[in-house]
């Protein structure tokens, strides 16, 4: 079963709930969405995705008038409402200096760092934690490079459910650990990288110890799909067109998969022609680039990197679990993938800050990737581009302080300050 842009539309299974069900992307097996806990296919272990009998058109969103952010798109989601603290509806910024320097027709930044907990993860959690309530689970868990744990801790607290997070010791930015801690999650520091944390938490979930809210969970990606819907609407409002390309940082490739799914559903609804679908362009750090390797080598499978390292700790991931959904997304939309150095990531973080957009390092990878692909000629000067920035500057205060200028000590009098300003 291929994840193509204009795939055939099978009939809904008899156990669909309100026109939604789960389907295996490999063998096509279908499951009722809310009856049992399941993360992958029973028969072939393939990834699952939510499918719908009807896909709403872009024009249909917002006509009920009373729902905002992620829940403005409720008709494209498998439940009507979430455990919500007003996630989504993030700004799409102009960045004139970078646009001019990079040399593209239009450049906008979709700043997901402006979500309630400071990253796009909130979009998935509002939905995922509501589904957990429907399933009646009593412990939520995730492995995380930081942002997922912050969001899960917050939404779990809101829902009054116990939260367990597994973090790679010493490799999670300070703001994120602080959030998980204050929102009351139980934090386990694992002597291993993110991929090892995810192996363990997946095991715990399979043994029924906790409900898994990593992006392997298909409901999370439904919430994240709304990033793609918002980008299309906002870009068209601002420029009159849809963007030709969306450049985004890639870790587990959940967003790449989710955006592609949003566009496939809009094609099915007749809102987008397949040629209008933005080219999904993934960016990884050089020290953690298994998706880039697979795209460059034309492989159908991604080789797990055991050793990964980058200053952009959010995307310090060697085994992108959503690759089977994301690789077709990159290929079918005419996109590509590129790796950037930590130095270029920091340069891009500074450039964004100069245009007034404060992001964490992983987010800046998108702009670093755009720069690199413009230099190589893979992105044309006449393209209209959106870069996704996934997390807020304050998530990683140490990286921000290291990239910025140092404070200067002065004596406590005006003359002393004036002397220094001379």
Residues in contact with ligand F0G by CB under 6 A are 119, 144-148, 215, 249-255, 314-315, 360, 362-363, 390-391
Measured from the CB atom, the residue of 336 and 390 that comes closer to ligand F0G is 390
CB of 253 to ligand F0G, least distance (A): 5
d(CA 208, CA 187): 19
CB of 102 to ligand F0G, least distance (A): 20
Measured from the CB atom, the residue of 143 and 277 that comes closer to ligand F0G is 143
Measured from the CB atom, the residue of 55 and 147 that comes closer to ligand F0G is 147
CB of 319 to ligand F0G, least distance (A): 11
Quick one: which H or E segment has residue 327? helix 323-332
d(CA 231, CA 5): 19
Burial class (CB in 10 A: 0-12, 13-18, 19+), 160: exposed
CB of 254 to ligand F0G, least distance (A): 3
Measured from the CB atom, the residue of 16 and 326 that comes closer to ligand F0G is 326
d(CA 160, CA 1): 39
Exposure string for 333-358, b = 16+ CB within 10 A, e = fewer: bebbbbbbebebbbbbbebbbebebb
Measured from the CB atom, the residue of 16 and 337 that comes closer to ligand F0G is 337
Closest CA relative to residue 309, chosen from 142, 171, 151: 171
Q: Taking phi first (over 0 means left), then psi (-120 to 50 degrees means alpha), and beta for anything else, what does residue 270 get? A: left
Largest interatomic CA distance in the chain: 80
CB of 363 to ligand F0G, least distance (A): 6
Please tell me what DSSP assigns to residue 17. Answer: B
Measured from the CB atom, the residue of 30 and 313 that comes closer to ligand F0G is 313
Q: Tell me the C-alpha to C-alpha distance, in Å, between residue 359 and each of 113, 256, 299, 369, 418.
A: 7, 19, 32, 15, 32
CB of 250 to ligand F0G, least distance (A): 4
Measured from the CB atom, the residue of 30 and 336 that comes closer to ligand F0G is 336
CB of 381 to ligand F0G, least distance (A): 27
d(CA 90, CA 88): 5
């Amino acid at each position: 079963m291929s994840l193509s842009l204009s795939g055939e539309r099978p009939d809904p299974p008899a156990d669909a709930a309100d026109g939604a069900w789960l389907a295996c992307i490999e063998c096509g097996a279908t499951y009722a969405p809310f009856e049992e806990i399941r993360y992958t296919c029973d028969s072939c272990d393939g990834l699952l995705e939510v499918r719908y009998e009807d896909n709403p058109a872009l024009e249909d969103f917002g006509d009920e008038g009373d729902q905002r952010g992620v829940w403005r798109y409720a008709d494209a989601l498998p439940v009507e409402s979430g455990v919500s603290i007003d996630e989504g509806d993030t700004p799409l910024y102009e960045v004139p200096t970078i646009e001019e320097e990079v040399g593209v027709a239009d450049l906008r930044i979709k700043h997901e760092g402006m979500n309630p907990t400071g990253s796009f993860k909130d979009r998935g959690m509002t939905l995922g934690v509501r589904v957990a309530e429907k399933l009646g689970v009593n412990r939520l868990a995730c492995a995380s490079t930081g942002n997922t744990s912050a969001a899960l801790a917050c939404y779990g607290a809101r829902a009054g459910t116990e939260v367990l997070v597994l973090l790679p010791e010493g490799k999670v930015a300070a703001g994120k650990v602080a959030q998980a801690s204050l929102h009351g999650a139980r934090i386990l520091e694992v002597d291993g990288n993110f991929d090892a944390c995810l192996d363990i938490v997946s095991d715990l979930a399979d043994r029924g110890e906790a409900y898994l809210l990593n992006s392997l969970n298909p409901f999370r990606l439904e919430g994240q799909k709304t990033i793609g819907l918002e980008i299309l609407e906002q870009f068209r409002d601002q420029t009159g067109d849809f963007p030709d390309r969306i450049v985004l940082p890639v870790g587990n490739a959940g967003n790449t998969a989710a955006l592609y799914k949003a566009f496939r559903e809009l094609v099915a609804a007749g809102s987008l022609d397949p040629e209008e679908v933005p080219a999904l362009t993934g960016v990884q750090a050089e020290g953690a680039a298994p998706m880039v390797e697979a795209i460059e080598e034309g492989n159908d499978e991604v080789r797990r990197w055991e050793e990964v390292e980058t200053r952009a700790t959010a995307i310090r991931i060697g085994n992108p679990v959503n690759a089977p959904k994301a690789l077709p997304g990159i290929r079918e939309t005419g996109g590509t993938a590129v790796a950037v150095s930590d130095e270029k990531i920091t340069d891009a973080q500074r450039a964004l800050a100069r245009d007034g957009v404060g992001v964490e390092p992983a987010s800046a990878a998108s702009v670093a990737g755009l720069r690199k692909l413009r230099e190589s000629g893979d992105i044309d000067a006449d393209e209209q581009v959106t870069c996704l920035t996934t997390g807020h500057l304050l998530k990683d205060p140490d990286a921000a302080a290291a990239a910025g200028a140092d404070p200067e000590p002065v004596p406590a009098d005006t003359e002393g300050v004036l002397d220094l300003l001379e």
